[in-house]
């Protein structure tokens, strides 16, 4: 039976969410021997190679000459390719994989605020309740660290606040060119900027430096910054960003499981407690997204 456009979008988003749940764990493992900005630079460069291969297989190089999409691609590069990952990588240096995964769920709240208020749409009852529950979930995660101001958690939340802006420009660019074209340009520009920052920071970024984490950085680049991003762009091309964000929030639960399995990072009572309001918050927001 042929799947509808919306079903295809849901499959893309859910598949990407399963892979993305490993992102905080792979990143934390790679940061044991490589500074965050160096890890980000090489992960982004490896994603460039991935998208170049995809474009070669699909023979879509001609799309690079379609200049009309470049404004949106460069804007999403600034928001999603540079600012978001800078904040997320540095945040992971100061917080746990479980905290990062749970706090990343606040992106659904910021997405609704951006797409609803930005478009001057009124908030429904479901949306208001869902947003409130997401805030409670984030507060539960942050509560144990309020006394010492856990900067890693704050950086993750700031990254999530920026993400909807990048998604808006990505969705608009996808109407003109393919996902792999968007991501090749975005990753190429991002990698160049990040390597420049590494150079002026005086950090070493040679292959010898990253050798202990080379395999993890390749996985980060090819699968997590590569394949999952194609899944995401193809997904939001078929369904709304708000519904996609709601569906993608199965990631926190999976991240907690993988963190326990791979990092022996046992979920705290606060993290498990946060899952409850976040789960119901997502359900309320998902009803609004699907309507």
How crowded is the C-beta side of 284, counted as CA atoms within 13 Å?
20
pLDDT band at 218 (very low <50, low <70, confident <90, very high): very high
pLDDT band at 270 (very low <50, low <70, confident <90, very high): confident
- Domain count within the chain: 1
Range 46-64 average pLDDT: 94
Of the candidates 155, 112, 150, 71, the residue with the CA atom closest to the CA atom of residue 281: 112
Q: Is residue 291 pLDDT above 50, yes or no?
A: no
Of the candidates 247, 256, 251, the residue with the CA atom closest to the CA atom of residue 283: 247
The rounded distance, in Å, linking the Cα atoms of 34 and 41 is: 11
Most confident of 67-71, 95-99, 287-291: 67-71
Share of the chain above pLDDT 90, in %: 34
* Torsion, CA 175, CA 177, CA 178, CA 182, rounded to 10: -100
Using CB atoms within 10 Å of the CB of residue 209, give its burial: 0 to 12 exposed, 13 to 18 middle, 19+ buried. middle
E-strand stretches of the chain = none
User: CA dist 60 to 31, 46, 51, 55, 169, Å?
Assistant: 35, 19, 11, 5, 21
Residue 223 DSSP code:
I
Of the candidates 285, 184, 280, the residue with the CA atom closest to the CA atom of residue 240: 285
Place of tokens 């909807």: 164
Q: What is the pLDDT of residue 184?
A: 96
Question: Range of 265's domain?
Answer: 5-290
The rounded distance, in Å, linking the Cα atoms of 78 and 186 is: 8
Report CA Rg, the chain. 18
Round the average pLDDT of the chain to a whole number and report it.
Answer: 83
Q: What is the pLDDT of residue 222?
A: 94
pLDDT band at 290 (very low <50, low <70, confident <90, very high): very low
Range 215-222 average pLDDT: 93
pLDDT band at 56 (very low <50, low <70, confident <90, very high): very high
The rounded distance, in Å, linking the Cα atoms of 201 and 35 is: 11
Residues with Cβ within 8 Å of residue 214, at least 6 apart in sequence: 207
Range 21-31 average pLDDT: 86
Place of tokens 């998604």: 167
Q: What is the pLDDT of residue 123?
A: 53
22-31, 214-223, 228-237, 244-253: the lowest-pLDDT one: 244-253
Most confident of 3-12, 107-116, 187-196, 259-268: 187-196
Share of the chain above pLDDT 70, in %: 86
Which tokens go with 75? Answer: 């804007």
Q: State the pTM of this model.
A: 0.78
How crowded is the C-beta side of 239, counted as CA atoms within 13 Å?
25
The rounded distance, in Å, linking the Cα atoms of 156 and 172 is: 25
Q: What is the pLDDT of residue 289?
A: 47
Q: What is the pLDDT of residue 284?
A: 75
Residues with Cβ within 8 Å of residue 17, at least 6 apart in sequence: 247, 248, 249, 250, 251, 254
Q: Interhelix angle for 228-238 vs 241-248, to 10°? A: 130
């Amino acid at each position: 039976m042929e799947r509808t456009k919306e079903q295809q979008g849901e499959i893309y988003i859910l598949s990407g969410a399963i892979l993305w749940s490993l992102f905080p764990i792979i990143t934390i493992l790679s940061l044991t021997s490589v500074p965050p900005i160096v890890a980000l630079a090489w992960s982004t460069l490896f994603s460039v190679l991935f998208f170049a291969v995809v474009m070669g297989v699909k023979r879509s190089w001609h799309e690079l000459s379609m200049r009309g999409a470049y404004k949106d691609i460069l804007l999403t590069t600034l928001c999603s390719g540079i600012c978001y990952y800078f904040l997320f990588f540095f945040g992971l240096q100061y917080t746990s994989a479980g905290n990062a995964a749970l706090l990343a769920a606040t992106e659904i709240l910021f997405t609704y605020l951006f797409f609803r208020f930005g478009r001057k749409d009124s908030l429904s009852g479901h949306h208001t309740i869902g947003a409130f529950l997401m805030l409670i979930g984030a507060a539960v995660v942050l509560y144990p660290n309020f006394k010492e101001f856990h900067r890693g958690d704050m950086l993750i939340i700031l990254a999530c606040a920026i993400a909807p802006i990048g998604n808006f420009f990505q969705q608009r660019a996808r109407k003109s060119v393919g996902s792999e074209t968007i991501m090749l340009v975005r990753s190429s520009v991002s990698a160049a900027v990040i390597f420049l920052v590494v150079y002026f920071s005086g950090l070493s970024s040679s292959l010898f430096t990253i050798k202990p984490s080379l395999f993890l950085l390749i996985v980060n680049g090819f699968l997590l910054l590569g394949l999952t991003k194609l899944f995401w762009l193809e997904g939001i091309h078929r369904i709304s960003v708000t519904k996609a964000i709601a569906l993608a929030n199965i990631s926190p639960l999976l991240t907690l499981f993988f963190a326990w399995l791979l990092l022996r990072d046992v979920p705290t009572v606060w993290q498990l407690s946060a899952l409850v309001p976040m789960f119901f918050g997502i359900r309320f927001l998902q009803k609004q997204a699907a309507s």
